[in-house]
Amino acid sequence: MSDGYVLEMTNINKTFPGVKALDGAYLRVKEGEVVALCGENGAGKSTLMKILSGVYQADKGSGEIRYRGEQVHFSSPVEAKNAGIVLIFQELSLVQELSVAENIYLGSLPKKGFRVDWKKLNDDTKKVLEALECPAKPEDMVASLPIAQQQMVEIARGIALGARILVLDEPTSSLTEREKEALFRSIRNMKAQGVGIIYISHKMDEIFEISDRVMVMRDGRPTGDFATKEITLDDILFSMIGRSMDQYFYRYEGEPGAEVLRVEGLSLKGYFKNISFRVRAGEVVGFYGLVGAGRTEIMETIFGIRKADSGKVFLNGTEQHIRSSGDAVRAGIGFLTENRKEQGLVLGEGCRKNTYLAALPELTKRGFVQEKETHRIYDYYRDKLGIKSPSSEQEVGNLSGGNQQKVVVGKWMAIKPKLLILDEPTRGIDVNAKAEIYKLIASLAEEGIAIILISSEMPEIMGVSNRVITMAQGMLTGELSADEVTEERLMRNIMITDSTKSA
Partner 1 sequence: MQQSGGNKVLGTLKRQGIVMALVVIYILFAIASPQFRSLRNVILILRQVATIGVMAAGMTFVIIGGNFDLSVGSLLSLCSVLCIGLHDRIGPVPAMLVAIIAGLASGAVSGFLVGYLKLNSMIVTLGMMNVIQALALMVTNGRSVYLEDTDVWFCQIGKGNIAGFPISAVIMILYIILMAVILMKRKYGHQILSTGGNAEACRYSGIDDRRVLLKSFVLSGLSAAVGAILLSSRGGSAQPTVGQSYEFDVITAVILGGASLAGGSGNIYKTFVGVLILGILKNGFVMMGFPYYVQWIAQCLIMLVAVYLDMMSKKKKGAA
> What's the min distance (Å) between Cβ of 347 and partner 1?
7
Among 360, 443, 475, 479, binds partner 1 (CB under 8 A): 360
Q: What residues form DSSP beta bridges with 224?
A: 216
| 10 touches partner 1 by CB under 8 A | no
Among 168, 187, 281, 358, binds partner 1 (CB under 8 A): 358
Give the contacts of 166 (CB within 8 A, at least 6 positions apart): 86, 88, 155, 158, 190, 195, 196, 197, 198
Q: Which stretch binds partner 1 (CB under 8 A): 81-89, 107-115, 363-371, 491-499?
A: 363-371
286 three-class SS: strand
Give the contacts of 47 (CB within 8 A, at least 6 positions apart): 14, 21, 22, 56, 220
| 324 touches partner 1 by CB under 8 A | yes
> What's the min distance (Å) between Cβ of 302 and partner 1?
13
Among 344, 402, 425, 474, binds partner 1 (CB under 8 A): 344
> What's the min distance (Å) between Cβ of 451 and partner 1?
18
Nearest CA among 329, 281, 339 for reference residue 302: 329
Give the contacts of 97 (CB within 8 A, at least 6 positions apart): 141, 142, 143
CA 49 to CA 14: how far, in whole Å?
Answer: 12
Among 274, 326, 484, 501, binds partner 1 (CB under 8 A): 326
Alpha carbon 450 to its chain centroid, in Å, reads 26
| 347 touches partner 1 by CB under 8 A | yes
Per-residue DSSP letters for 170-218?
STTTT--HHHHHHHHHHHHHHHHTT-EEEEE-S-HHHHHHH-SEEEEEE
| 364 touches partner 1 by CB under 8 A | yes
| 82 touches partner 1 by CB under 8 A | no
| 346 touches partner 1 by CB under 8 A | yes
Considering beta carbons, is residue 22 or 407 the nearer one to partner 1? 407
Considering beta carbons, is residue 159 or 415 the nearer one to partner 1? 415
Considering beta carbons, is residue 234 or 371 the nearer one to partner 1? 371
Burial of 302 (0-12, 13-18, 19+ CB in 10 A): buried
| 189 touches partner 1 by CB under 8 A | no
Among 19, 369, 491, 495, binds partner 1 (CB under 8 A): 369
Per-residue binder mask for partner 1 (CB under 8 A), 268-297, x = binder = ------------------------------
Radius of gyration of the chain (CA): 26
| 343 touches partner 1 by CB under 8 A | yes
Nearest CA among 420, 400, 398 for reference residue 410: 420
Q: Which residues bind partner 1 (CB under 8 A)?
A: 303, 305, 324-326, 328-330, 335, 337, 342-349, 353, 357-358, 360-361, 364, 367-369, 371, 398, 411, 415
